[in-house]
Amino acid sequence: MIPSWQPSADITLLKRRAQYLADVRLFFAQRDTWEVETPILSQAAPTAPYLDSFSCDYQAIGSEQKSRYYLQTSPEFTMKRLLAAGSGSIYQIARVFRNGEQGRLHSPEFTMLEWYRPKLTLIQLMNEVEMLVEQVFNFQGMAKFSYRSLFQSYLDINVFTCSDEQLKICGLKQIPSLADDFDTDRDSWLELLMSYVIEPKLAQLNTLVFVYDFPASQAQLAKIVDDGDGYQVADRFELYIEGIELANGYNELLDADELRQRFDQGNQQRRQQGKTEIPIDENLLAAMSSGLPICSGVAIGLDRLIMLAMKKNSIAEVQSFSFE
Amino acid sequence: MANVSTSEFKSGLKFMLDGDPCSIIENELVKPGKGQAFNRVKYRNLKTGRVNERTFKSGDSVESADVMEVELEYSYTDGEFWYFMDPVSFEQHAADATAIAGCKKWLKEQYSYTVTQWNESPLTVSAPNFVNLTVTDTDPGLKGDTSGGGGKPATLETGAVVRVPLFINIGELLRVDTRSGEYVERAKEK
């Protein structure tokens, strides 16, 4: 292979990127939200079945013994421990790592902007995200749709009551690139329909789009609540710009027992798929038992946001050096 | 034949899909935040030439296709097959009517063609971008007209009919663009 030492982004773009980072920091400074740094390495990691952490070994000098460490997929767990310790509103611009994810909009390592606001409701946090994206990155306009309403209007399907079979029929009909005998689980069908059918429609709206009230099966670390129509939904949102998924926000789950169950469930799914189980974060669970304040939190893929703001087509074009 | 995993997908990779050899044009990872990953692949069916899309679960495997491109010289036809020769080994390869359909009217002996072979037999034959061919039939040339304005049809030695300037006569050698089927200029050498 021929070595290529040049950056994957133009120097002028990288300078613009530095200005965005400075503006983000200014935005939070004006909102009494302070910047934190947390460890990248941890002995625990998320157990979510489709989220793969990098791992490495720690070996004390002179010791034969190796301890397994994981690189963070987001700074969520340690930031929550700060919140439980009384930090108040905090943010972080963190380097995060996700094994295997490489593409135009993916990189095994990327930059995440994550923040937590103990006093804000999820709706207030959505508004704050909108303000950040408008003031710093100059995107205008905002629309909010529930997950259910999007599937209802674009696919004429009720995501909470339709059967797995109905969902499969809808998926095969709407996505011609799937083989006739293709099949997958319920959440993957929903995600495929979102990616292939709904996201392109959202792109046509030419505005920021917040999607909220996700199916409870996609709760991740958000609270599950009643949506007012009797459906159990995950109290979280995602932000889309130009049909690209940019941010993921939660009304944060506070119940340590419930979180332990979700961790266990993740490991159970990993086992079924023949993947190795991941040690669950006892420190986080202990912090939550001691008391996490009621709070909302959100993570934004900064490379994607900067890519869109600079009208580029791939995140590599706004990273100093893309994954090599 | 070996299998290839979606993790090795990249443009140009040849693989088998529903019994036909295909070539990847574009491969995109589809991966919602914490959801399952898919590969959205745009490919060309090398038999039909059609471009289509297929989605695979990341980690799935497909059979790789034994497809390669070689430069062969056209020799002759017996009406059923068109024979191409490897200029180094002198080995003959027979292409059927389907394989030469796209370049039939540009086939001329001793010219070199790009032959896409699948399992060592010709799948498609494509003509070079430019060929020099002799005019076998056209209306008489108009003396004094060298502008090339207007034009008239001319039949070439391979049977192809192209529009040429009025001053072109039977027996002249022309340079033709095979992609557009258009006359380029008078040619000096074969």
pLDDT at B33: 81
Domain carrying residue B174: 130-186
Within-domain flag for A189: no
Within-domain flag for A173: no
- How many helices (H) and strands (E) in chain B? 1, 16
Per-residue pLDDT of chain B (190 residues; tens, 9 = 90+): 689 999 999 999 999 999 999 999 999 999 988 889 999 999 999 988 899 999 999 999 999 999 988 999 999 999 999 999 999 999 999 999 989 988 999 999 989 999 999 988 899 999 999 999 999 999 886 666 655 567 899 999 999 999 998 888 999 999 999 999 999 999 887 5
Q: Given a cut of 90, is residue A177 above it in pLDDT?
A: yes
Q: Which residues, in sequence order, are bridge partners of residue B70?
A: B115
Interface test with B, best of A192, A262, A313 (most B CBs within 10 A): A192
CB–CB contact A238 B33 (8 Å): yes
Residue carrying structure tokens 């010709």: B122
Relative to beta strand B67-77, strand A208-215 is unpaired
DSSP E strand boundaries for A23-136: 34-35, 41-42, 55-59, 66-71, 90-97, 109-117
Q: What is the pLDDT of residues B140-173, one digit of tens each?
A: 866 666 555 678 999 999 999 999 988 889 999 9
Residues 108-147 of A with CB under 8 A from B: none
CB–CB contact A245 B35 (8 Å): no
Q: Rounded to whole angstroms, how far apart are CA atoms A159 and A150? A: 10
CB distance B110 to B146 below 8 Å: no
What percentage of chain B carries pLDDT values higher than 70? 94
pLDDT at A262: 96
Domain carrying residue A282: 11-141+207-318
Tokens of B60: 């799935």
Rg (CA), chain A: 20
Does ipTM come in above 0.85? yes
Residue B101 forms contact with A (CB below 8 Å): no
Q: Which residues of A touch B41 (CB under 8 A)?
A: 177
- Among B63, B97, B112, identify where a domain stops: B63
Question: What letter would DSSP give residue B147?
Answer: S
Q: What is the pLDDT of residues A67-113, one digit of tens each?
A: 999 999 999 999 999 999 999 999 999 999 999 999 999 999 999 99
CATH code for the domain of B160: 2.40.50.140
Shared domain check, B175 and B148: yes
Number of domains present in the structure of chain A: 1
Q: Given a cut of 90, is residue A4 above it in pLDDT?
A: no
CB distance B1 to B63 below 8 Å: yes
Averaged pLDDT score across all residues of chain A = 96
Residue of chain A with shortest Cα separation from B30: A195
Shared domain check, B78 and B59: no
Within-domain flag for A22: yes
pLDDT class of A28 with cuts at 50, 70, 90: very high
Residue carrying structure tokens 């329909």: A193
Shared domain check, B105 and B152: no
Q: Rounded to whole angstroms, how far apart are CA atoms A283 and A281? A: 5
CATH code for the domain of B47: 2.30.30.30
What is the arithmetic mean of pLDDT over A174-201? 96
Spell B3-19 as b/e; 16+ CB within 10 A means b. ebebeebeeebbbbbee
Number of domains present in the structure of chain B: 3
Shared domain check, B104 and B77: yes
C-alpha distances out from residue A90 to A58, A86, A221, A252, Å: 29, 10, 18, 14
- Using N-to-C axis directions, what is the helix angle for A302-309 and A11-29, rounded to 10°? 120
- Using N-to-C axis directions, what is the helix angle for A147-155 and A186-193, rounded to 10°? 70
Residue of chain B with shortest Cα separation from A53: B34
CATH code for the domain of A29: 3.30.930.10
Give the distance, in angstroms, between the CA of residue B172 and the centroid of all CA atoms in the same chain.
Answer: 26
H/E element holding A6? none
* pTM greater than 0.95: no
Tokens of A29: 């400074």
Give the distance, in angstroms, between the CA of residue A88 and the centroid of all CA atoms in the same chain.
Answer: 22
Q: Which residues of B touch A103 (CB under 8 A)?
A: 28-29, 31
CB–CB contact A177 B35 (8 Å): no
Within-domain flag for A120: yes
Within-domain flag for A53: yes
What is the arithmetic mean of pLDDT over A162-186? 96
Q: What is the pLDDT of residues A36-56, one digit of tens each?
A: 999 999 999 999 999 999 999
Shortest Cα distance, chain B CAs vs residue A102, angstroms:
7
Shared domain check, B71 and B119: yes
Q: Rounded to whole angstroms, how far apart are CA atoms A214 and A235? A: 7
The closest CB to that of B30, out of A182, A195, A248, belongs to: A195
Instruction: Report the half-sphere exposure of A179 (CA within 13 A, side-chain side).
Output: 12
CB–CB contact A179 B33 (8 Å): no
Q: Given a cut of 90, is residue A1 above it in pLDDT?
A: no
Q: Rounded to whole angstroms, how far apart are CA atoms B31 and B39? A: 9
Shortest Cα distance, chain A CAs vs residue B98, angstroms:
26
Residue A103 forms contact with B (CB below 8 Å): yes
CB distance A86 to A292 below 8 Å: no
